[in-house]
Amino acid sequence: MNRLAPHLVIGLISVFYLIGIRSVPFHPDEATHIYMSRDVELFLSSPLDLAWNSDTPVTPAMRYRLIDAPMTRYLVGLGRLVFNLSPLSADWDWSSSWSENQQNGAMPSDQLLWVARASNAILFPFTLYLMYQSGTLLAGSLGGWLAIALSAGNALLLLHTRRAMSESALFFFTCYIIYASLKWERRKWLLGFLLALAVSSKHSAIAMLPLIISAILVDNSINKQTWRNKLLQLLGTGMAFLAAFAFLNPVFWQHPVKALLTSSSLRTDLSTRQVQEIGLIAPQLTLVNPGERIVAAIAQSFYAPPAISDVGNYINAQQESTIRYLSNPIHNIGRDWISGSLGLIFLISGLAMAMRSLWANTPRPWHILFLLISFLGCLLFYLIFIPLAFQRYVILLFPSGILLIDYAIVTLVARLHSRSTKKSGAIPTNRTG
């Protein structure tokens, strides 16, 4: 029964999570993913048509393939095939009004939007299970249950992972990488496949690379490996990543080097234009230096209400659905100053406790080391590469951040319990095995 309990709780939470898909306000980027989900049919029938060719002009669809990770549109496309639905006939045009986009065929029907969202949101129950397992490995049974509660009760995850956008797959695969790094003692080269899946969900998942390298080089298994074996595992991990990433990204098949350079150039140009354009209409969203970025990360992670939209292009059109969604107290849970401050305090405490544990213990608690590397790698990526204070961008920090909060709370509870036991004069029982 004890083994069944987490599955039952996760199943119950997931039912309410999936029922609430329809209540989430529409984001125009969802239309783009649904429109581009036609790539699934092309992948199955004529995959070379998805490859970039230097001799042909870059079409709008090819531009999306070069700058965006494909996983979300694959999931949406597979969902459409199951329900026998067609993709949108037109992409969303941000220079047009809400009603003009509706008239042009860029607004999905209720059924198509539900299928597109469900195709991504279906990952959430598995994500909760991975968080439960990781929490258990780090902090015991209480840590596992707390990981479920902190993930399922996070208002930002309830919003952003229930949309037909990149955050659901990003959160799932980053959680999977953390779990695999903590759990797998052999065949760690398979982490390369997971990294390829994560990066193909959102390119920022490359921030998980330091964790994967550490999990291979730091040998925490019973049967110690030689450095030669570790280097071979690193080589195998790299090959696994390249093979899986190449398979999932046919845009690079014909001219891989030129396509990668073109992709990098287009992404740099897009980021520059976004910063310039948004800086004119909402300068508070542009992040010039690491100091501003750390403030934005804290504000968005712990205090800001769920961001229905990134910019205010369609505030009036979204107003009714926004009010209806945010009127549900569950969708605002933990977004007040008290809850946010407690979350921030526990995160900082988790970081301090983890570092103290590494400094004080011999042999080292490798699970804690891996968790620290995961969080610091993602935080460093955010501070270097994220130029805009869009709430969706902090989701990368959540898997390791939630587990650090989890670790801090469980450690504090254990210390309080230990002090209470000593004061009461009870004799602790030593257990082995």
Q: Which residue has the tokens 């996983």?
A: 71
Cβ atoms of residues 308 and 325 within 8 Å:
yes
**Rounded to an integer, what distance in angstroms lies between the CA atom of residue 93 and that of residue 91?**
6
CA gyration radius for the chain? 23
| Helix (H), strand (E), coil (C) string for 284-302 | HHECCCHHHHHHHHHHHHH
Residue range 120-152, pLDDT digits in tens: 999 999 999 999 999 999 999 999 999 999 999
**Rounded to an integer, what distance in angstroms lies between the CA atom of residue 230 and that of residue 290?**
35
Structural tokens at position 111: 């059924």
**Rounded to an integer, what distance in angstroms lies between the CA atom of residue 378 and that of residue 268?**
20
Q: What letter does residue 153 receive in the DSSP assignment?
A: T
Q: How far is CA 339 from the centre of its chain?
A: 22
**Rounded to an integer, what distance in angstroms lies between the CA atom of residue 36 and that of residue 62?**
10
Q: Return the closest-CA partner of residue 378 out of 210, 207, 213, 168.
A: 207
**Rounded to an integer, what distance in angstroms lies between the CA atom of residue 10 and that of residue 145?**
10
Q: Which residues of 267-283 are buried (b: 16+ CB within 10 A; e: fewer)?
A: eeeeeeebbeebeeeee
- Interacting residues of 150 by C-beta distance below 8 A, sequence separation 6+: 131, 402, 405, 406
Q: Is the N-terminal amide bond of 363 cis, ω within 30° of 0? A: yes
Cβ atoms of residues 113 and 164 within 8 Å:
yes
CA atoms within 13 A on the CB side of 257: 0
C-alpha pair distances (Å), 171 with each of 135, 137, 146, 393: 15, 19, 17, 11
Q: Which residue has the tokens 């209470």?
A: 420
**Model pTM above 0.85:** yes
Query: Which three-class secondary structure state does DSSP give residue 24?
Result: coil
State residue 355 phi and psi, 5-degree precision: -65, -40
C-alpha pair distances (Å), 394 with each of 77, 205, 296, 397: 26, 12, 9, 6
CA atoms within 13 A on the CB side of 19: 6
Mark out the alpha helices in 218-336 (DSSP H runs): 227-248, 256-281, 290-298, 315-326
**Rounded to an integer, what distance in angstroms lies between the CA atom of residue 166 and that of residue 169?**
6
- Interacting residues of 217 by C-beta distance below 8 A, sequence separation 6+: 230, 234
Q: Please list the pLDDT of the chain residue by residue as tens digits (433 residues).
A: 578 999 999 999 999 999 999 999 999 999 999 999 999 999 999 999 999 998 888 999 999 999 999 999 999 999 999 999 999 999 999 999 999 999 999 999 999 999 999 999 999 999 999 999 999 999 999 999 999 999 999 999 999 999 999 999 999 999 999 999 999 877 888 999 999 999 999 999 999 999 999 999 886 555 567 888 889 889 999 999 999 999 999 999 999 999 999 999 999 999 999 899 888 888 888 998 999 999 999 999 999 999 999 887 898 999 999 999 999 999 999 999 999 999 999 999 999 999 998 888 756 688 899 999 999 999 999 999 999 999 999 999 999 999 999 999 999 998 887 787 777 665 544 433 3
State residue 388 phi and psi, 5-degree precision: -130, 145
C-alpha pair distances (Å), 33 with each of 90, 104, 116, 246, 393: 11, 16, 9, 20, 17
| Helices 28-36, 71-83: crossing angle, 10 deg rounding | 70
